[in-house]
Structure 1
C-alpha cells in the first residue's frame, strides 16, 4: 500500500511539474563521435570534460551548456550561441569564437591562447583566474 501511495505521489509531481528542456542526445552523440556538429542544438547539454579538439561547432546553440573542463583546442565556434554557458577550466587555445555570443558565459579558470574572438559578444563574462595570451579581450567593452 505504501509503495502505491509513493508511486501515486511521484506521478502527481511529474504531472504538475513544468517540463524540463532535455538536451538532444542524438546531436550530443554525433558531436562526441565525429567532432562535427555545425548548427546543432546543444542548448543545456552537459559536455563536462569532453575532448573536442578541432571540433566544428559553427553556429551551434550551446546556450546554457555545461562545458566545464572541456578541451576545445582549435575548435571552430564561429557564430555559436554560448550565452550563459559554463566554460570554467576549459582549454580554448587556438579556438575560433568569431561573431559568437558569449554574453554572461563563465570563463573562470580557462586557458586561452591565440583564440579569435573578433566580433564576439563578450559582455558579462567571468574571467576570474583565467590565463590569457595573444587573445584580444577588452575588459569593460567588446
Structure 2
C-alpha cells in the first residue's frame, strides 16, 4: 500500500499492523482508534487526519506531514517521528515514551498532558 491514495477515507478502527504506507496520501483520513503498530508511514501526508486514540507503537513516521492532525490520546511508544512536520497538531494526552522527536517541527502543536 506504499504510495496509496487514501485521503479522506474512513479507516477508523482498522487493523494495519506493520503495513507499508510509506508516502501514502492520508490527509483528512479518519484513522481514529486504528492499530498501526510497527507500520511504515514515513513520508506520508497525514495533514488534518484524525489519529485520536490510534495505536502507533514503534511506527515509522519519519518525515511524515502531520500538520493539524489530531493525535490526542494516541499511543506512540517507541515511534520514530524524526523530522516529522507537526505544525498545529493536537498531541494532548498522547503517550510518547521512547518516541524519537529529533528534528520534528512542533510549532503551534498542543502537547499538553502528553506522557513521555
Length-normalised TM-score, structure 2 = 0.86
What corresponds to 1:75 in structure 2?
39
Question: Relative to 1, partners in 2 of residues 1:40 and 1:108: Cα closer, same or farther, differing over 3 Å?
Answer: same
CA–CA separation in structure 2 for the residues paired with 1:59 and 1:49: 21
What runs of 5+ residues in structure 2 fail to find an aligned partner?
110-116
Q: How many residues align?
A: 106
- What CA RMSD, in Å, does the superposition of the two structures yield over aligned residues? 1.6
- Is 1:134 matched up with 2:98? yes
Distance apart, 1:136 and its partner CA: 3.3
More helix by percentage? 1
4+ runs deviating over 6 angstroms: none
Higher relative contact order (CA 8 A, sep 6+): 2
CA–CA separation in structure 2 for the residues paired with 1:66 and 1:88: 9
Query: 2:96 is paired with a residue of what secondary structure?
Result: strand
CA–CA separation in structure 2 for the residues paired with 1:93 and 1:55: 13
More strand by percentage? 1
What corresponds to 2:12 in structure 1?
48
Length-normalised TM-score, structure 1 = 0.71
What runs of 5+ residues in structure 1 fail to find an aligned partner?
1-36
